[in-house]
Amino acid sequence: MNRINAPRGTRDIVYPEITDWQMLEERIREFYSRFLYREIRTPIFEHSELFHRGIGDTTEVVQKEMYTFEDKAGRSLTLRPENTASVVRAAIENNLLDTAFPLRFFYIGPMFRYDKPQKGRFRQFHQFGIEVFREESPELDAEVVYAAHAFLEELGLHDISLEINSVGCDECRPAYLTVLRQEAQARQEELCPDCRRKVDTNPLRIFDCKQPGCRSVAVAFPTIANHLCPGCSDHFTGVQAGLDAYQVPYTVNERMVRGLDYYTRTAFEITSSRLGAQNAILGGGRYNRLIHDLGGPDIPGIGFAAGMERLLLHLEMPPAEKPALCFLACQSAEYRLHVMKLARMLWQAGYHAFVDYSHANLKKQFRRSDRMAADFTLVLGEEEVSSGQLTIKDMARQEQVRIPQQELLEWMNQRKK
């Protein structure tokens, strides 16, 4: 029979790598609880319209990267390519926006994009992220950026750099886009076919293009910095003062616009110099229109998302604390039921135990215990059963003792310390 492999761009996460994931997830939950973020879990698929309206029809994500399909009833559904639109939808749908408690959410989970698979980049990939609704002050933006930066630092990532920018608002961006469009039109010939289309639809997205030709043209384009309205300008100044207060090092990059249409004002990105070309590990920004655009009240939002695959590529998680493992060996099959009673005792007390149900001889069972890196091997044979005792071998110390069976837990507890 032919083998069936996982689809291209997906992968299985197995032991021992899975322990890094579990640890990372635990750290995320603990860290973001400090700022009163509460976990939210939204569906893996949503109505396609949510992403068309939320992310923007002219973005790379919506145009090229979405997994969209029709269900049996003919509804257009899409595997979520990111989670902000979903969190907004969920907050509106569940009437969360009326509560007095801070509207702060964090999520961890798989996202899907039809992208070219490469090192650290998959079609099913994982992100964690946070979203804050209703809070508008620039100092809150600084706190969100701090919460992104400090978490990576706490994980031990020190070669990271943070870039921030303001991408303006509905008031000041149109005038800037007119200027940008004129400039892009003048140099249209030098742009790739994709970017030529963007000149009319959304010239800001030309900054996202990875083609060297387009990049060198975009470097000369005007930036929004000189076009910000007083409100956006003051906000950006406030964000920077806030970052100074939280002692977060940053640089302003006027060409950093992020790949999604919904951002307003603050945009930010954290990169790691260890990653080479694919070096963005976290990005986010403020989105003051999105909640309203998705049918909610006119309240602002801000958040970020981080790629967990890439993060784990750069991280050295400390080895997981491994509980003691007992291997239960049996001199012959007739004592097996007896061994099972001991195993049950160990499991109930929270110990890790493995019963060897094979008919292998004792020597083979010991070899197996060794290969499994068991800490202790328990042996029951004729002598032990008739005297109510059991033999325990401490595999690391190569010591063997015989103790009464009813003292097993007591003995284990002492060994643990």
Binding site for Zn ion (CB under 5 A): 168-169, 171-172, 192, 195, 209, 211, 214, 229, 232
Closest distance to Zn ion from the beta carbon of 228 (Å) = 6
Q: How far is the CB of 172 from Zn ion (least distance, A)?
A: 3
Which CB atom, from 211 or from 278, has the smaller least distance to Zn ion? 211
Cβ 39 to Zn ion, closest distance in Å? 33
Report, in Å, the least distance between residue 284 CB and Zn ion: 19
* Number of CB atoms found within 10 A of residue 58's CB: 16
Closer to Zn ion at the Cβ: 171 or 383? 171
Minimum distance of Zn ion from residue 180's CB (angstroms):
14
Min CB(236)–Zn ion separation in Å: 9
Q: What CA–CA distance (Å, rounded) separates 331 from 362? A: 6
Closer CB to Zn ion, residue 25 or residue 293? 293
Nearest Cα neighbor of 28 from 302, 300, 282, 301 is: 282
What is d(CA 77, CA 30) in angstroms, rounded to the nearest whole number? 33
Closest CB to Zn ion among residues 85, 172: 172
Query: What is the distance between the alpha carbons of residues 201 and 149, in angstroms, rounded to a whole number?
Result: 34
Give 267 or 328: the residue with its C-beta nearer to Zn ion. Answer: 267
Is residue 248 within 8 A of residue 149, CB to CB? The reply is yes
Q: How far is the CB of 134 from Zn ion (least distance, A)?
A: 20
Q: Which is nearer to Zn ion, 64 or 341 (CB)?
A: 64
* Closer residue to Zn ion, CB minimum distance, 203 or 283: 203
How many CA within 13 A on the CB side of residue 198?
27
260 contacts 56 by C-beta, under 8 angstroms: yes
Q: Is 33 left (phi over 0), alpha (psi -120 to 50) or beta?
A: alpha
Q: Which of 411, 260, 279 is nearest to 342 (CA)?
A: 411
The minimum distance between CB 163 and Zn ion, in angstroms, equals 20
Nearer to Zn ion, 170 or 334 (CB): 170
Kindly state the smallest distance separating residue 169's Cβ from Zn ion, in Å: 3
Output 126 or 235, the one with its CB closest to Zn ion.
235
Record the tokens describing residue 390, joined without a space.
């059991």
Rounded to an integer, what distance in angstroms lies between the CA atom of residue 160 and that of residue 191? Answer: 31
End-to-end CA distance of the chain: 52
Length of the chain: 417
Q: What is the side-by-side strand order in the sheet with 399-404?
A: 352-355, 325-330, 376-380, 389-394, 399-404
Measured CA to CA in angstroms, residue 232 lies from 72, 178, 263 at distances of: 47, 18, 13
Nearest to 346 by CA among 404, 409, 399: 409
